[in-house]
Structure 1
Amino acid sequence: MRILVVCGAGASSTFVAQRVRHAAHDRGRDISAVAGTEQSLPIDLDAADIVLVGPHLQHALERIQRDAAPRGTRVVLLPPDIFTDLDGSRTLALIDEALSASTDAPRTPREELA
């Protein structure tokens, strides 16, 4: 599972990505999480299964969802207090919720290969 955490400049997304990687590792889960920026998103989307969008980018959420849809990439808007999730467990729960919410959705070719 490849997670892309997007924020404006990449600083806060770096912390979220690092924390969710640690939380996944502690639970024995194979998740990679990287930080990206709104500007790098068009390139970064190709390598992501889920995009976590920083709350301060809510204004761009519809565009991000539109860009992600043809790739079969899920998009999750992070809550405003996500940066208080110091161990990454809450962020990992949001990822799990996004995955379980889409189990009825048609699978993309990339998901079928995973």
Structure 2
Amino acid sequence: MTKNVLLTCGAGASSGFMAAAARKATKKLGIDLNFTAKSESEVEDLLPEVDVLLVAPHLKYMLADIQEIAEKNNVICDAIPQRIYGMLDGKALVTFVEKELGK
């Protein structure tokens, strides 16, 4: 069953690049994860359809508030490590998500 992963940043642009890199990696690795990216203002409306919510490193200051909303929807929530985000390392992000899902 496909797991839906939502990436969020301020406007959704940089997380969009990260999601594209992750989609490319899942295709190459044959992993069943669906990555999308949206602005942080859209997150709450999308949570019912999401399994994992990942916050861009520059929004880490909002993580506690976002985690509280995510928990109410049984959604795993964490910040994307800066190294992965800064390098747009799709494969590393896929590995990170798989670890989050395994917790």
Using structure 2 for the length normalisation, give the TM-score.
0.90
Structure 2: state its 5+ residue gaps: none
Alpha-carbon distance, 1:10 to partner: 0.7
Mapped to 1, the partners of 2:58 and 2:47 lie a distance apart of 19
Alpha-carbon distance, 1:44 to partner: 1.6
8 Å Cα contact 2:17-2:88 kept in structure 1: no
Using structure 1 for the length normalisation, give the TM-score.
0.82
The aligned counterpart of 1:104 is none
Mapped to 1, the partners of 2:86 and 2:28 lie a distance apart of 19
Q: Give me the identity figure in percent.
A: 30
Q: 2:14 aligns with which of 9, 12, 16?
A: 12
Deviation digits for residues 6-53 of structure 1 (CA, Å, limit 9, x no counterpart): 000111010111111111111112211111111111112121100110
8 Å Cα contact 2:51-2:75 kept in structure 1: yes
Runs ≥4 residues deviating over 4 A = none
Mapped to 2, the partners of 1:51 and 1:63 lie a distance apart of 13
Larger radius of gyration: 1
8 Å Cα contact 1:16-1:83 kept in structure 2: no
Q: Which amino acid aligns with 1:80?
A: Q
Structure 1: state its 5+ residue gaps: 102-114
Q: 1:100 aligns with which of 82, 99, 102?
A: 102
Mapped to 2, the partners of 1:29 and 1:96 lie a distance apart of 10
Task: Choose between structure 1 and 2 for higher RCO, CA contacts under 8 A separated by at least 6 residues.
Answer: 2
CA RMSD of aligned residues (A): 1.1
